[in-house]
Structures are given as C-alpha cells and as structure tokens.
Structure 1
Amino acid sequence: MRTHVRTAALWAAQAILAVQLAPAGILKVTSDPAMVELFTTIGAGQWLRYTVGTLEIAAAIGLLVPRLCGPAALGVAALMTGATLTNIFLIAAPPWLPLGLLMVGALVAWARRTEIKAFPLGAVSPDGKQL
C-alpha cells in the first residue's frame, strides 16, 4: 500500500475513533442519567465513570495529535478491552460496539507501533527515523 494512502486510512480510522469516544466521554463526565445508572449497575462506583470518561476524552484528543496518536490508540485498545469484558460479564449487554472499537484501536496502535516505541523521546517519521 502506498504510504500516503496508508497514512490517510490511519487518520480516517483515528478520526472515527475520536468521534465515537469524545461524546461518550462527555456524557460520562457530565453525569448523564443513563451513564450514572450504567455505572451503578456495574457496581464499581461513580469514580470509575469519571475516570473512564476522562480517559475517553483524552484518547479522542490524543488520536488527533500526531505525536500522541499511537499511544492514544493503545489506550483506546485497553479501554475497550475493559468495556468489552464489562458488557459480557457484568451487564450482559452485546459487546459489538466496544469490540469493534477495540479492533480499530488495536489496528491503529499496531500501525503506529514505531511512534509508540519512540513516544517518550520524540516524534518519528513514517519510516521510523527519529525526527
């Protein structure tokens, strides 16, 4: 696949993830009644709702920042792993949405693995060289 097509596809996937995560995170941190009820059902406390919402908003922003997109995608994969397991084992809800977001997040994280490895040190070019 040509580099510019691959890059455009990655940015499109990242934008789709951001569009899914930002509103969900905002609903959680603004105490939407449905989110309060959901996290009451989970039984972990409302602190988890605030934590997950904040992480979703941070991930949505990070996915749109070139230097942060790789680590943000890795964070999305971790969050959606938890969401998938929660849907299956705690609330008996269909896991398809978090599972789909998990797969897209994991794919983006894999494609951005060079950026993830270099994250604390600085930006890298698409060919993996330190900038």
Structure 2
Amino acid sequence: MSLTQVETMPRWRRIGLWSLKALLALVFLAAGGAKLAGVPMMVENFEHLGLGQWFRYVTGTLEVIGAVMILLRTFAAFGGVLLAAIMVGATLAHLFAIPGSPIPAIVLFGLSGLVVFAHRDQVEGFARRVFDDHD
C-alpha cells in the first residue's frame, strides 16, 4: 500500500489493518519461537511429519521472518504471502499427518491473505518490475 493510500485511508481502516498485522505478528512470533525453542509438542508434531527436526527449525525461522515482514511497510505483502504459504503447508499437515484440527491454520491463512490484499499494490509493483518488457 503506497504512503498516499495509507494516508487517505479512513482512520478506522488504518487502525484495523495495523491491529490485524500486530495480532498476526504476535501469533507467528509465538508459534515460530515455540518451534525454535523446541517445545515438546512442536517436536512431536514434526516427528509425525517424518521430515526431521531440521524442518521444524526452517518453519520456525520462516514464521518469525514473516511476522517481522508484515510489520514493515515495504515488505508487508511479501510477509503475508510467506505466512499464507506456510499455512497452506500447515493445513495439509493437519489433514494428512498431524492429529488436530486444520481450522486454526485455515483462519491464519485467511488473515494473512487479508494483509496481502491490503498491500496488493506492492505485489503489483513487483510484478511490473519483474515482467516489464524492457524493449
């Protein structure tokens, strides 16, 4: 979202977007931190996946990076994309390998998608730069 768009956005919408991003950042910092700290439940969940504990560290690191990215105006959309992608994996893991409901992962996917949508101009600008025909 450009600075002009943010400044012209109604105050309630700016507060709502920042509240959403802060909540998501807290959730993903906690989840990523738990994975990196080796909380027994996380270790057990990743054992069920059968990919090894290295995958827990990668996932935890990516969750922390995504949480920080959504708080930074320049990277908010890309942080949302990263977190949404992680939640696709988490949903599939809960459906096929790990006991428990996939609903929290689906909700976090949707909320991450809202961040991407709110900052969609970042994705559009990036796509234009990458795919622009330089003739």
CA distance in 1 between partners of 2:82 and 2:20 (Å): 15
Task: Give secondary structure in 2 for the equivalent of 1:55.
Answer: helix
Relative to the length of structure 1, the TM-score reads 0.84
Aligned equivalents of 2:123 and 2:14: distance in 1?
16
Letter in 1 for 2:104: L
Is there any run of 5+ residues in structure 2 with no aligned partner, and where?
1-7, 129-135
Q: Identify the residue that residue 44 of structure 1 maps to in structure 2.
A: 51
Q: 1:61 to 1:120 in 2, by over 3 A?
A: farther
Bigger RCO of structures 1 and 2 (CA < 8 A, at least 6 apart): 2
Aligned residues: 121
Greater percentage in helix: 2
Off by >3 Å, runs of 4+ in structure 1? none
Moved more, 50-59 or 104-113: 104-113
Corresponding letter in the other structure for 1:115: Q
Q: Equivalent residue for 1:3?
A: 9
Q: Distance in 2 between matches of 1:71 and 1:15?
A: 16
TM-score, length of structure 2 as denominator length: 0.82
Taking only the aligned residue pairs, the percentage that are identical comes to 35
User: Residue in 2 aligned with 1:126?
Assistant: none
Q: Which runs of 5+ in 1 are unaligned?
A: 122-131
